[in-house]
Structure 1
Amino acid sequence: MPPISAPVRKLTVGFAFLSSLMACSGQTTDARTEDTQGTRETAALAASQLSVNLRAWSGHYLVADKGGGAALQAYSTWAKEWETFTLTDLNGGTLQSGDVVTLRGIGGQWVSADKGGGGAISVNAPHALGWEEFRIVKVGGTGTIASGDKIALQTTLGGQFLSAIDSGGGDVLATGVSAREWETLTLYTLGSAPVTTPKQRVLDYIKSISGSKTIAGQHNREPNWEPAKWTNAINGTTGRWPGLWSGDFLYQQENIDSRWTMINEAKKQFAAGAVVQLMWHSCPPTQGEACAWQGGVISKLSDSQWNELLTDGSNLNRIWKTRVDRLVPYLQDLKNNGVAALFRPYHEMNQGVFWWGGRTGPQGTRRLYQMTHDYLTKTKGIDNLIWVWDVQDLSWNFSDYNPGDAYWDIAALDFYNGDGFTKAKYDAMLAVAGGKPIAIGECDRLPSATELRNQPRWVFFMGWSELVYDRNSATELKNIYAADNVLTRDELPGWQ
């Protein structure tokens, strides 16, 4: 790539050098006097300026949350306004390794290493003085720095490197003693950062919080003409919006007729910053698209009917494809509008109450899940879904229902057994998921903040509609939604 160039400017005096002289004479190294401030602001106006994005080793971009005024963080999975900084090269000329630079967020405040380094980094300085100056270092090389190069930023006063702790997902500190992985950033000029899809942004963010934070979620079942009924109820109780909104395609005729209302709510929630999830309580292919709960969704297929369903081209297989086809316009509409959705079909595979569940082995329930995945993604081109594989806490043979790593992105466990959020269940999900995210797919009683601290890999929990109010007091709901390890909608980065 071509080097990043800028016009040469005339420097009156190097502030870092001036600061060191003042330190030797016993004066403060931050020297925020009126005269010095005026000199520094004049120099900044004359210096070369570039709009840049900085991506940490893990793929998270440095972000000035809300444009500035708070801590510098490394949680964002793509480069937008809050991830864009004005880099001022105080040395002038072509940007070189060793040059002294400042960074300014879109809100007009400078990135600042408090007391010159050794602790937190913020984006709140009203002017650029010593604490706001950094030496840019080319990692693994010297000389000219180009867009796409690996760099590190070192405080000019304390000598510490900016570090995205744990490779990103939280605050950035000025504590690095050398330029290692956490201290390595990729510098992109505005517009040159890799483009990511909404699906990648949501999934990358979910992966980034695994082990530290849990998204608060709420399901909204019937009626589909009120698709935010229980989300609104949670907001009314807690004053906060669930970070995950969940809807359902459902099975009753009146709810099937209202699917567009539900999908429009999904788009609205996604635009507001929520993670969106869709479920599908479907009717068996031996009945009509609309059916009853008892004797419909809750029913059995004979072994011969099941085998026919799995046989491509058979009558039941054609009916099943027609049912899936009817979901495609809704999913395509989400894709066309840039909405990524978690999709959790044929949930609670290991319980045999639903017509699709309780069948082990390669031709069992997991095969229907695989067929649905392949038909939607490969045949219909629906590539905006994040696939959730779901079981319930009533048996431990999860591997008998696992469709395979290629078929799911998140493994979820539904909690309805009376013994609650035990370590045994947590460990069982960790074992089956490997390094992939795990989630509390459904629950009536919500986990406490302490339970989530002890089991930090749960990336979201989802309360089940009205059951949340049967099992949790208003105080308990307020407490979990206010917990520092639980994320509500306003605390998520946004996706569009």
Structure 2
Amino acid sequence: MKVYKIFIVMLYMSITLSGCNKKESYHGFAPVNSEASIEARQLLGFLYSIQGKYTLTGQHNFVSDFDRYNSRVHEITGKYSVVWGSDFSFNALGDNIRKFQHCGPMNLSVPFDSCYVNGLSTEELRQGLVDEAIEQYDKGRIITLMWHCCFPTEGDDCIGNSIWTWQNAPSDSVWNELVTEGTELNNQWKHQMDGVAKYLKQLKDANVPVLWRPYHEMNGVWFWWCNKPGDNGFKKLWIMTYDYLTEHHELNNLLWVWNTNAPRNIPGDEAGPYKDFFPGVEYVDVLAADVYHGDYQQSHHDDLYTLGGGKLVTLGEVGSLPSVEQFNNQTNWSWFMVWGYFINRRDDGESVRAMYEHPSCITLDEIDFSGKNYKLKENLN
């Protein structure tokens, strides 16, 4: 009987501790997915542990050449970035493929090289992406993935204008069909999602946490998923995506990065207020802004941080890095990620070196990834 009682007590303690781990929070914030993997939770905890003190360096890489811009960062700075980004992308079709080479369609050569079709299948390219992400994770890098996706009726193969719709965005009736459960268009969307989910599952099985940032820059006016404010607009698409990948596909390795564009009033190229497209803190682990044209307004940082109520904020993509003065005034960015070839495009590397040498910017050599746990090396704590 005594042994039985001890067993019951130990079982109770095990269940209790397990429950505590599920609800573990960082600075008051738990992962929005209550079933988030141990690795995803550890990554989130690490990001909160450096919040307001350090910013991780990051670099985007294209599926057609994973090493080009990693190597370029090292050539300029002598260091490597911590955050490794890439794109599930699409296959560009039609006579105007060069027009869309800048975003790195997976079937094309690297942007601004001679433009040619690389001849690889979608399966080969996306499998290569997964394999590379696992390899980079094993080196101690943090993985962030996004997706330039065709409209769901076209799967993964489309002319670029299917993605960059501008004034030809889906009508309200088409949008309603998309976000209504069980319609033909909704089922086509699910099929498109399934095609990427199987690769995210490989990363889950390999215990790789992913900073997942689908449908980026939704407050702009250029992509098919853009410029749909309100509860039945982008917010509904985001929640639908979260529910499908989390509940149906059980992708518990994902941390959800809601990635806006910095608001702007450029005629014909506007980006609206963050709040009009925000699905709520219960669906977002990290709030991100993309900054191009050097547009590092203080409000872009402060308003995002306020909207999230203190949750993590980050620079999802940037064309050029901030000046040291701008960076010193915007202390809550968790990481920055330079978009591909833009690492080559300013001051012969001077601004890149300035940020990589900044005492608050963390490079790969300053990460201790022993035991597959992210932490800073002791001299930085």
Q: TM-score category by the smaller chain?
A: 0.7 to 0.9
**Does residue 211 of the first structure (1) align with residue 77 of the second (2)?**
no
Distance 2:315 2:148 in 1: 18
Equivalent residue in structure 2 for 1:296, among 162, 165, 171: 162
Shift of 1:313: 1.0
* Counterpart secondary structure, 2:365: helix
Distance 1:277 1:288 in 2: 22
Equivalent residue in structure 1 for 2:199, among 309, 330, 333: 330
- What residue identity is the alignment partner of 2:38? T
**Does residue 471 of the first structure (1) align with residue 346 of the second (2)?**
yes
Shift of 1:343: 0.4
Matches for 1:308-319 after TM superposition, within 5 Å: 308-319=177-188
Among all aligned residue pairs of Structure 1 and Structure 2, give the percentage whose two residues are the same amino acid.
34
Q: Deviations over 1:34-67 (max 9, x none)?
A: xxxxxxxxxxxxxxxxxxxxxxxxx9xxxxxxxx
Distance 1:480 1:448 in 2: 8
Alignment check: 8 A CA contact 1:214 1:452 kept: no
Larger radius of gyration: 1
Query: Counting strand residues as a fraction of each chain, which structure ranks higher?
Result: 1
* Counterpart secondary structure, 1:286: helix
* Counterpart secondary structure, 1:414: strand
Instruction: Return 5+ residue gaps in structure 2 as ranges.
Output: 1-20, 28-36, 93-105, 108-121, 265-270, 374-381
Equivalent residue in structure 1 for 2:148, among 281, 286, 290: 281
* Counterpart secondary structure, 1:327: helix
Shift of 1:366: 1.8
The corresponding residue for 1:490 is: 365
Distance 2:342 2:66 in 1: 16
The corresponding residue for 2:98 is: none
The corresponding residue for 2:89 is: 250
**Does residue 405 of the first structure (1) align with residue 281 of the second (2)?**
yes
Distance 2:154 2:359 in 1: 47
Alignment check: 8 A CA contact 1:231 1:241 kept: yes
Matches for 1:37-56 after TM superposition, within 5 Å: none
Distance 1:229 1:317 in 2: 38
Shift of 1:472: 4.4
**Worse-matched range after superposition: 314-323 or 282-291:** 282-291
* Counterpart secondary structure, 1:199: helix
Alignment check: 8 A CA contact 1:446 1:472 kept: no
Distance 1:231 1:355 in 2: 30
Distance 1:328 1:472 in 2: 40
Distance 2:298 2:361 in 1: 19
Distance 2:157 2:365 in 1: 37
The corresponding residue for 2:4 is: none
- What residue identity is the alignment partner of 1:279? M
Shift of 1:448: 3.2
**Does residue 451 of the first structure (1) align with residue 340 of the second (2)?**
no
The corresponding residue for 2:297 is: 422
**Does residue 263 of the first structure (1) align with residue 138 of the second (2)?**
no
Shift of 1:356: 0.5
Shift of 1:358: 0.6
Equivalent residue in structure 2 for 1:340, among 183, 196, 209: 209
Alignment check: 8 A CA contact 2:230 2:277 kept: yes
Shift of 1:427: 1.5
Question: TM-score under structure 1 normalisation?
Answer: 0.58
Q: CA RMSD in A?
A: 2.0
Distance 2:347 2:173 in 1: 44
* Counterpart secondary structure, 1:264: helix
Distance 1:212 1:268 in 2: 28
Shift of 1:449: 3.6
Distance 2:320 2:348 in 1: 10
Q: Deviations over 1:424-470 (max 9, x none)?
A: 22221121111101001111111234322221111111111112322
Q: Deviations over 1:289-346 (max 9, x none)?
A: 21122x1211221221111111111111111000110112211111111100100000
Shift of 1:417: 4.5
Alignment check: 8 A CA contact 2:293 2:320 kept: no
Equivalent residue in structure 1 for 2:254, among 377, 385, 390: 385
- What residue identity is the alignment partner of 2:49? S
- What residue identity is the alignment partner of 2:312? P
